[in-house]
């Protein structure tokens, strides 16, 4: 599972949300720009597709990006995500259903509509179920338009470790965004986890430890193995629930000791198991 990445490689906040904001009152939106020596480039925040495109000669261009799978957010929980980006310039050729991969270049900051300088306006909405996903906007009581079901973006977006923070303060209030490393280092507790893919069962907490054979698993572990061949390499099937009786955190890796062996929860910023 991938992170919900902030879509730029520099973070310069020019407007936040809440009653102190200028044009974002009644909305959960942030404006970010290339100020302070930043970059105008906007990259795909996840693997996904275009849910809707709005292009008007006189109004702000807007594109809705939808994640094809759940992504891990800064609260350490996975969701399907809709990201609404407003004011970019290069979206006229995008069509509904167009697909993209995380970190693909998509567009640049723009000033379409009544924008003050080149920037993008970002809003996100989170969903537990794919069938509940909505794109589109509503008019607020302040006369502006907001993404349906939007949430405070700085609480859920994740910065790539190489993203430069140039400014995260608006009107005297900080709006920090956690980095990949900070999310990984959120305390992982023992308890029940679910595998998000077929996961190797190893003899110790690390990729240098050998993978077990099916015959070395417990009876319950064998029931959840991808193979019934006792001499086959042991994998827990996708969706397997297991008890993590001990947790090991090592730089960009998190491992769990189970009754059958050791499995990887996070490896190099890829999330392989989720807490139940």
- CATH number of the domain enclosing 236: 2.30.30
Q: Is 252 exposed, middle or buried (0-12, 13-18, 19+ CB in 10 A)?
A: middle
Does residue 129 sit within a domain? yes
Q: Per-residue pLDDT tens for 54-76?
A: 998 778 899 999 999 999 899 98
User: Does 143 or 199 have the greater pLDDT score?
Assistant: 199
CA separation for the pair 112, 56 (Å, rounded):
9
Q: Examine the domain organization and report whether 99 and 201 are in the same domain.
A: no
State residue 53's pLDDT score. Answer: 94
The CATH number assigned to the domain holding 96 equals 2.70.70.10
State residue 267's pLDDT score. Answer: 86
Q: Is 113 left (phi over 0), alpha (psi -120 to 50) or beta?
A: left
Q: Give the end of a domain, one of 135, 156, 184.
A: 184
What percent helix, strand, coil does the chain show, rounded to 5? 10, 40, 50
Does residue 240 sit within a domain? yes
Segment 164-176 shows an average pLDDT of 94
Backbone angles phi, psi at 207, to 5 degrees: -70, -10
State residue 186's pLDDT score. Answer: 67
State residue 171's pLDDT score. Answer: 87
**What's the number of domains the chain is made of?**
2
pTM, 2 dp = 0.74
Segment 123-147 shows an average pLDDT of 84
Q: How would residue 112 be classed by pLDDT, with cut points 50, 70 and 90?
A: confident
Q: Examine the domain organization and report whether 145 and 30 are in the same domain.
A: yes
Does residue 174 sit within a domain? yes
State residue 137's pLDDT score. Answer: 82
The chain-wide mean pLDDT, for the chain, equals 91
Q: Per-residue pLDDT tens for 3-51?
A: 999 999 999 999 998 766 677 777 888 999 999 999 999 999 999 999 9
CB atoms within 10 A of CB 60: 18
Q: Examine the domain organization and report whether 47 and 30 are in the same domain.
A: yes
Q: How would residue 2 be classed by pLDDT, with cut points 50, 70 and 90?
A: confident
């Amino acid at each position: 599972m991938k992170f919900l990445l902030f879509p730029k490689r520099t973070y310069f906040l020019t407007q936040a949300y809440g009653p102190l904001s200028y044009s974002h009152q009644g909305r959960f939106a942030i404006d970010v720009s290339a100020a302070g020596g930043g970059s105008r480039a906007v990259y795909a925040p996840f693997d996904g597709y275009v849910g809707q495109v709005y292009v008007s000669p006189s109004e702000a261009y807007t594109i809705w990006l939808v994640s094809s799978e759940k992504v891990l957010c800064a609260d350490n929980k996975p969701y399907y995500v809709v990201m609404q980006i407003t004011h970019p310039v290069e979206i006229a050729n995008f069509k509904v259903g167009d697909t993209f991969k995380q970190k693909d270049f998509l567009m640049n900051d723009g000033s379409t509509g009544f924008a003050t300088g080149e920037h993008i306006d970002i809003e996100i909405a989170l969903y537990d179920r794919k069938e509940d996903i909505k794109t589109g906007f509503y008019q607020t009581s302040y006369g502006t338009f907001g993404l349906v079901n939007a949430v405070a973006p700085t609480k859920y977006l994740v910065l790539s470790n190489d993203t430069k923070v140039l400014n995260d303060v608006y009107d005297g209030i900080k709006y920090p965004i956690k980095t990949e490393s900070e999310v990984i280092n959120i305390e992982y507790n023992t308890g029940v986890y679910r595998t998000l893919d077929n996961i190797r069962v190893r003899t110790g907490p690390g990729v240098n430890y050998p993978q077990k054979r099916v015959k070395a698993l417990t009876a319950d572990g064998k029931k959840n193995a991808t193979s019934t061949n006792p001499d086959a390499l042991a994998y827990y099937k996708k969706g397997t629930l297991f008890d993590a009786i001990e947790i090991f955190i090592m730089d960009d890796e998190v491992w769990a000791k189970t009754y059958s062996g050791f499995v990887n929860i996070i490896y190099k910023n890829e999330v392989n198991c989720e807490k139940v």
